[in-house]
Amino acid sequence: MEMAGTSTTHAAAPQGPSHIAPIPAQPPKTMATGPSKTQMARANMAIARRELITEASVSEMGRTVSRIRTLATKGVQREMKRFFDLPEVNVAIFAFLLKFVWEFAQIPLFEGMPFAGHWRAIQVCARATAGDVAIALVAFWAVSWAWRSRLWILRPTTFQLGGFVAVGLVITVFIEWLSTQVLDRWAYSASMPTVPGLGVGLSPLLQWALLPPLLAWFVRRQLT
């Protein structure tokens, strides 16, 4: 038995955290500074897709506009052709061309006209020609109403052409008589031959005897 002075030796218990294994230091995580390659590829594909869609839309819009323009042009051309194929339109056009020349040719037969200024003479002849065109259209429609067809002028018979001339003559005689004998709108020169009993100038009447057959020939040649 051991007495005082002798002591039993005990292992000292470890103190503090020295017995815990050290944790290795972890490198700091790097923060993402931009999109990844996959994200960039997807973004580029989306941009390319949008560009393709935009180009396709613009191209389709251009084709649509071109088709509309083509259809509109064809429609206008078709309507213009239909308009200029109307018999009365051709009657008006050729009546104007023929009678405008006639009005200038008979200037010396009207008082004051040989001494009128150039522009004044053109104005007077243009107004007179417009009146002649109106008379031609009335005569044309009168014959069309009588024969129930506006296409008679394409192959006019003697009676149809005679009716055309007769209507124009009656209207012209009345207008010339009213303008010279009643209203004094114009007067004939000494060189104008007149119809006895009416006092109407012969030149305005001759145009309705000579020009209608030529007018009908031009219209028929244009439309057939």
Closest CA to 169 of 132, 194, 196: 132
> Do 126 and 175 share a domain, yes or no?
yes
Given a cut of 90, is residue 198 above it in pLDDT? no
What is the DSSP annotation of 46-100?
A: HHHHHHHHHHHHHHHHHHHHHHHHHHHHHHHHHHHHHHHTSHHHHHHHHHHHHHH
Helix (H, G, I), strand (E, B), or coil: what is residue 30?
coil
Looking at the structure, do residues 70 and 139 belong to the same domain, yes or no?
Answer: no
Q: Are 136 and 199 members of one domain? A: yes
Summarize pLDDT for 163-192 with one digit per residue, the tens: 999 999 999 999 999 999 889 898 999 999
Same-domain status, 51 and 102: no
Question: What pLDDT sits at residue 1?
Answer: 41
- Last-in-domain residue among 84, 115, 142: 84
Instruction: Examine the domain organization and report whether 108 and 145 are in the same domain.
Output: yes
Q: Are 188 and 110 in contact (CB under 8 A)?
A: yes
Interval 58-89: pLDDT, tens: 666 767 777 777 777 877 888 888 888 999 99
Structural domains counted in the chain? 2
Q: In the listed set 69, 84, 99, which residue is the last one of a domain according to the structure?
A: 84
Examine the fold and report which residue of 55, 84, 113 is the final residue of a domain before the chain moves on.
84
**pTM exceeding 0.95:** no
44/110 same-domain check? no
Same domain, 194 and 92: yes
With CA atoms as reference, report the closest residue to 132 among 221, 189, 215: 215
Confidence label for 145 from pLDDT (cuts 50, 70 and 90): very high
Domain limits at 61? 39-84
The answer on pLDDT for 95 being more than 90 is yes
Domain contains 157: yes
Q: What pLDDT sits at residue 9?
A: 47
How many CB atoms are located within 10 Å of the residue 55 CB? Answer: 10
> Given this model, what pLDDT does residue 23 score?
59
DSSP 13-28: PP-GGGGSPPPPPPPP
Are 131 and 189 members of one domain?
yes
Question: What share of the chain in percent tops pLDDT 70?
Answer: 79
Return the pLDDT at 175. 94
Residues 96 and 194 in one domain: yes
